[in-house]
Amino acid sequence: MAYSVVADVLRVLKVSSSADLGTTDPDITKFIEEADSWINRLIGAQSESDKTIRELSAKMAALSIVTSDPYQEATGGLMETRWSVGELRARIKEILASYSTELCGPEVRRWNEV
């Protein structure tokens, strides 16, 4: 079972439906599955009832969604989104660090540099 659900990701992105993102619930579910896979790889399998892991899963999925091509606009050579990517990254980094003090590998950098 997934750590988060589509509704969690929509709440993070402050939208009411996947249509507001121009996507579908099954597409968001794929982002959640990828995020959960990264969580398991980075800090090991966690309890599905852990609210912090639920938040981490939803925010990692949300970050992947908003930094994928259809959700970005090129402006002056920079990619911009309407969501606060910096805030998402900061919270993801904070949560990951709270579960492990040895997060310095390339996998973690991927989430800090997206």
Quickly list DSSP for 27-85. Answer: HHHHHHHHHHHHHHHHH----TT-HHHHHHHHHHHHHHHHTSGGG-EEETTEEE-SS-H
Q: Band of the pLDDT at 77, cuts 50, 70, 90?
A: very low
Residue type, 85: V
**21, 70, 71 from 39: Cα distances, Å:** 24, 25, 23
> Residue 32 above 60 pLDDT?
yes
Which one is predicted more confidently, 109 or 44?
44
Q: What is the pLDDT of residues 63-75, one digit of tens each?
A: 999 887 655 555 5
Percentage of the residues of the chain whose pLDDT score is greater than 90: 50
**Structure pTM?**
0.79
In percent, how much of the chain has pLDDT > 70?
A: 75
Write out pLDDT tens, residues 43-56.
989 999 999 999 99
